[in-house]
């Protein structure tokens, strides 16, 4: 296991209302892509607002290992001196992507069509996650992969010597798979085409175009058809990373379930491929408003204002919305426990292959806290107990999964008895300032052994 060190037990208790403004860190998806596209460009890329979570720091280190210049200039401010498409050097050591699925899968794509070999590993969570979803389409370019049984890390990738362009329909709704194929397509001649039946986050498409690639997206009866012209010259850019809607979910959801709360989370990107949670919360009757809605860098942005919402109702979350809120189901299930009635969450098989099996991790912890949960392979449902109705009072396992840890800590802020998490260490992968930010709003979250 790499990275995490000693477990960090944490406990959250009911206390005063959460009040104030919470500025959450930069978007994780856009941060990874800024580093990778910066490394694949000619010239300098200047990034502000980069998320300095461990997942992204591991990607920064990897880009250095492939030969790019990556330098931290100040808080969230980074400079990347790229090597250009096809310019990656062969790394001398093993590439350790820590806990990050996005990191390893996008980096595998970005080196897959260069004539170099790289070996990838990660922590116990990442080494258990499926990689064939990426190495199968990469094989079509001529890339070879040798990993552990079941297509697991550690894994060695031998980049294609003479790559051919690929046409690939993704069998799972995954922006990581789509992005790995597009990044590999950069160094293949001709047109690489990815077809996705369900829309997933489109940051790669937007950013590739922004760095100078020629890329089109067509909506057809087959789905979204994304066509990339190979071997472009990417040019370094200035990137201002917006705040992460997936991190904003924690202070927002905590405010909805803690009596008297009123929290403002400014500058949140509401790109429709990411904003499904917020629509769902509004459908449940949450007092959640979009203040000062505006466009920034071609993306819809707003300040989210969340107030205590004692009258929320359970709903069926439309399955076609799943990709746009895939990382937010754990914290949604916490809010659902405080709503009246049942919340059904169908079409979410992908939750079983994240940092943990998120349906199992949440169902186990929710049940220990007195909440009834039903589940099947690709769905789950939470029986809400209404405002103030959640007993809490358990210690739950975070299973090396930041979102599980943060979800249960938010739950402990609204439940009758405290909720303990066995290890809050993984929170630093995506939201290193979570504890301080929540404390500034008035939340009682402590290191349990302190
Ligand atoms: O492309 C990305 O930046 C991400 C895609 C999603 O994963 P999948 O593509 O596996 O669904 C998401 O869960 C992850 O946190 C970030
Ligand atoms: C699934 C996640 O990340 P990754 O796949 O990059 O590990 C997440 O951040 O919730």
- What's the 16 CA to ligand 2 centre distance in angstroms? 31
Query: Is the per-residue pLDDT at 449 higher than 90?
Result: no
Main-chain dihedrals φ then ψ at residue 396, nearest 5 degrees: -115, 155
Please name the residue whose Cα sits nearest to atom 8 of ligand 1: 174
Dist CA 30 CA 50 (whole Å): 8
Q: Which of 4, 101, 124 to mutate to test the pocket of ligand 2 (most atoms within 8 A of CB)?
A: 101
Dist CA 400 CA 386 (whole Å): 30
> Please, what sign has the CA dihedral across residues 202, 355, 22, 33?
negative
Beta bridge partners of 271: none
Dist CA 144 CA 106 (whole Å): 16
How confident is the model over 273-288, as a mean pLDDT?
98
Cβ of 102 closer than 6 Å to ligand 1, yes or no, is yes
Cβ of 206 closer than 6 Å to ligand 2, yes or no, is no
Q: Report the predicted TM-score, pTM, of the whole model to 2 decimal places.
A: 0.98
Which ligand is closest in space to the CA of residue 358?
2
> Please, what sign has the CA dihedral across residues 209, 213, 219, 224?
negative
Q: Does domain 10-26+242-447 have CATH number 3.40.50.2300?
A: no
What is the assigned CATH class of domain 28-228?
A: alpha beta
Cβ of 403 closer than 6 Å to ligand 2, yes or no, is yes
Main-chain dihedrals φ then ψ at residue 350, nearest 5 degrees: -60, -25
CA 424 to each of CA 5, 126, 360, 362, 380: distance values in angstroms, whole numbers, following the listed order = 11, 17, 18, 15, 25
Q: Is the separation of the CB atoms in 7 and 449 below 8 Å?
A: no
CA 93 to each of CA 10, 39, 64, 84, 118: distance values in angstroms, whole numbers, following the listed order = 35, 18, 11, 21, 8
Spatial strand order of the sheet with 262-269 comes to 19-21, 262-269, 299-307, 287-296
How confident is the model over 405-422, as a mean pLDDT?
98
Cβ of 244 closer than 6 Å to ligand 1, yes or no, is no
Cβ of 100 closer than 6 Å to ligand 2, yes or no, is yes
Q: Is the separation of the CB atoms in 415 and 387 below 8 Å?
A: no
Q: Is the separation of the CB atoms in 67 and 89 below 8 Å?
A: yes
Q: Is the separation of the CB atoms in 439 and 389 below 8 Å?
A: no
Is residue 14 part of an annotated ligand binding site? Answer: no
> Each residue of 85-119: pLDDT tens digit?
999 999 999 999 999 999 999 999 999 999 999 99
Q: Is the separation of the CB atoms in 304 and 256 below 8 Å?
A: no
Is residue 34 part of an annotated ligand binding site? Answer: no
Cβ of 247 closer than 6 Å to ligand 1, yes or no, is no
Q: Which of 172, 326, 401, 406 to mutate to test the pocket of ligand 1 (most atoms within 8 A of CB)?
A: 326
Question: How would residue 4 be classed by pLDDT, with cut points 50, 70 and 90?
Answer: low
Q: Is the separation of the CB atoms in 122 and 98 below 8 Å?
A: yes
> Please, what sign has the CA dihedral across residues 104, 105, 106, 108?
positive
> Each residue of 313-348: pLDDT tens digit?
999 999 999 999 999 999 999 999 999 999 999 999
- What's the 29 CA to ligand 1 centre distance in angstroms? 7
Which ligand is closest in space to the CA of residue 131?
1
Dist CA 3 CA 124 (whole Å): 10
3-state secondary structure of 71: strand
CATH 3.65.10.10 in the chain is located at: 10-26+242-447, 28-228
Which ligand is closest in space to the CA of residue 429?
2
Q: Which residue from 198, 274, 190, 175 is spatially nearest to 227, judged by alpha carbons?
A: 190
Catalytic site positions: 327
Atom of ligand 1 nearest to the CA of 106: 1
How confident is the model over 230-258, as a mean pLDDT?
97
Is residue 327 part of an annotated ligand binding site? Answer: yes
**Of 203-212, 269-278, 290-299, 354-363, which range is least confident?**
290-299
Question: How would residue 299 be classed by pLDDT, with cut points 50, 70 and 90?
Answer: confident
> Each residue of 118-161: pLDDT tens digit?
999 999 999 999 999 999 999 999 999 999 999 999 999 999 99
Q: Is the separation of the CB atoms in 248 and 295 below 8 Å?
A: no
Dist CA 385 CA 335 (whole Å): 10
Cβ of 327 closer than 6 Å to ligand 2, yes or no, is yes
Cβ of 420 closer than 6 Å to ligand 2, yes or no, is no
Place of tokens 């829309």: 199
How confident is the model over 210-225, as a mean pLDDT?
97
Which ligand is closest in space to the CA of residue 355?
2
Is residue 403 part of an annotated ligand binding site? Answer: yes
Atom of ligand 1 nearest to the CA of 174: 9
> Each residue of 170-196: pLDDT tens digit?
999 999 999 999 999 999 999 999 999
Checking DSSP bridges between strand 167-169 and strand 191-196, what pairing results, if any? parallel
Give the number of other Cβ atoms within 10 Å of residue 29's Cβ: 28
Question: How would residue 448 be classed by pLDDT, with cut points 50, 70 and 90?
Answer: confident
Cβ of 401 closer than 6 Å to ligand 1, yes or no, is no
How confident is the model over 232-259, as a mean pLDDT?
97
Q: What integer pLDDT is reported at residue 289 of this predicted model?
A: 98
ipTM confidence score: 0.99
For 355, residues 6+ apart whose C-beta sits below 8 A from its C-beta are 99, 101, 125, 126, 129, 399, 400, 401, 402, 403, 404, 426
Provide the residue count of the chain.
450
Question: How would residue 15 be classed by pLDDT, with cut points 50, 70 and 90?
Answer: very high
- What's the 427 CA to ligand 1 centre distance in angstroms? 17
- What's the 323 CA to ligand 1 centre distance in angstroms? 9
Is residue 129 part of an annotated ligand binding site? Answer: yes
Is residue 354 part of an annotated ligand binding site? Answer: yes
Q: Which of 174, 179, 269, 431 to mutate to test the pocket of ligand 1 (most atoms within 8 A of CB)?
A: 174
> Inter-axis angle of helices 28-39 and 203-210, to 10 degrees?
40
pLDDT above 90 covers a percentage of the chain that reads 97
Query: Is the per-residue pLDDT at 1 higher than 70?
Result: no
Query: Is the per-residue pLDDT at 3 higher than 50?
Result: no
């Amino acid at each position: 296991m790499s990275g995490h060190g000693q477990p960090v037990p944490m406990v959250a208790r009911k206390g005063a209302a959460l009040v104030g403004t919470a500025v959450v860190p930069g978007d994780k998806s856009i941060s990874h892509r800024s580093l990778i596209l910066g490394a694949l460009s000619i010239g300098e890329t200047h990034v502000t607002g980069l998320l300095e979570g461990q997942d992204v720091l591991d990607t920064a280190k990897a880009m250095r290992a492939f030969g790019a210049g990556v330098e931290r200039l100040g808080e969230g401010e980074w400079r990347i001196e790229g090597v250009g498409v096809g310019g990656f050097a062969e790394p001398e050591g093993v590439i350790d992507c820590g806990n990050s699925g996005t990191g390893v899968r996008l980096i595998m794509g970005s080196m897959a069509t260069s004539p170099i070999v790289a070996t990838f590993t990660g922590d116990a969570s990442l080494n258990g996650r499926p990689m064939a979803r990426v190495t199968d389409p990469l094989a079509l370019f001529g890339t070879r992969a040798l990993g552990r049984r079941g297509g697991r890390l550690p894994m060695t990738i031998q980049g294609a010597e003479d790559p051919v362009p690929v046409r690939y329909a993704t069998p799972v709704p995954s922006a990581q798979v789509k992005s790995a194929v597009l990044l590999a397509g950069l160094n293949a001649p001709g047109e690489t085409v990815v077809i996705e039946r369900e829309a997933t986050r489109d940051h790669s498409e937007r950013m590739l175009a922004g760095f100078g690639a020629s890329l089109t997206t067509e909506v057809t009866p087959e789905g979204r058809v994304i066509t990339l012209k190979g071997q472009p010259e990417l040019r370094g850019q200035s990137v201002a990373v917006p705040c992460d809607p997936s991190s904003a979910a924690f202070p927002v959801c905590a405010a909805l379930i803690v009596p008297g709360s009123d929290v403002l989370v400014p500058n949140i990107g509401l790109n429709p491929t990411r904003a499904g949670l917020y629509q769902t919360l509004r459908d449940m009757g949450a007092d959640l408003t979009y203040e000062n809605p505006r466009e920034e860098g071609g993306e819809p942005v707003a300040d989210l204002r969340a107030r205590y919402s004692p009258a929320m109702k359970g709903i069926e979350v439309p399955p076609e919305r799943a990709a746009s809120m895939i990382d937010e189901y754990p914290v949604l299930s916490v809010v659902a426990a405080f709503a009246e009635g049942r919340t059904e969450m169908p079409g979410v098989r992908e939750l079983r292959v994240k940092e943990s099996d998120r349906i199992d991790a949440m169902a186990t912890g929710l049940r220990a806290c007195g909440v009834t949960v039903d589940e099947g392979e690709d769905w789950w449902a939470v029986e809400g107990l209404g405002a103030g109705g959640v007993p809490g009072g358990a210690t739950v396992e975070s299973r090396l999964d930041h979102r599980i840890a943060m979800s249960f800590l938010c739950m402990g802020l609204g439940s009758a008895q405290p909720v303990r998490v066995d290890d809050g260490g993984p929170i630093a992968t995506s939201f290193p300032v979570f504890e301080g930010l929540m404390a500034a709003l008035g939340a009682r979250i402590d290191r349990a052994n302190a």
